[in-house]
Amino acid sequence: MDPVSLLISVVDDDESVRESLPDLLREFGFMAKSFASANEFLVSRCADKTKCLILDIAMPGMSGPELKRELERTGYFIPTIFITAHAEICSRPDVRDGAAACLVKPFSDMALQNAVKKALEST
């Protein structure tokens, strides 16, 4: 599948992440869209087009793991990469189970590219 036809959605309450990650993903050749909250993503109706989700774990309102569970409850099983500033959170069962990767901020471009590749291969 052509990377340009693959939408990667980034959900993070941190504005700098919402601005920088989509730019980096576009450099990798993907389409990318960012959202400030789980709710913003849910109301966007982008779930059916999204081939990979990059979710911040700790966000106000619905967390990244909660968003993943809500999407699965409604029939969307989207490969997910969690991102966090706290390494110990990556070992939590609600984060580890079913996620393609968990990256600790700041992470390298190569780590992100590898995680996206792994996530897309899981579909």
Q: Is the pLDDT of residue 11 over 90?
A: yes
Please state the pTM of the whole predicted model: 0.94
Q: Does residue 108 lie within any of the structural domains?
A: yes
Q: Does residue 12 lie within any of the structural domains?
A: yes
Count how many domains the chain has: 1
Q: Does residue 122 lie within any of the structural domains?
A: no
Domain with residue 24: its CATH number is 3.40.50.2300
- Three-class HEC string of the chain: CCHHHCEEEEECCCHHHHHHHHHHHHHCCCEEEEECCHHHHHHHCCCCCEEEEEEECCCCCCCHHHHHHHHHHCCCCCCEEEEECCHHHHHCHHHHCCCCEEEECCCCHHHHHHHHHHHHHCC
Quick one: pLDDT at residue 78?
96
Tens digits of residue pLDDT in 62-103? 999 999 999 999 999 999 999 999 999 888 888 888 899 999
Tens digits of residue pLDDT in 16-50? 999 999 999 999 999 999 999 999 999 999 999 99
Domain that includes residue 107, residue range: 3-116
Task: Decide: 21 and 10 in contact? Cβ < 8 Å.
Answer: yes
Residue 34's Cβ-count burial label (10 Å; 0-12, 13-18, 19+) is: buried
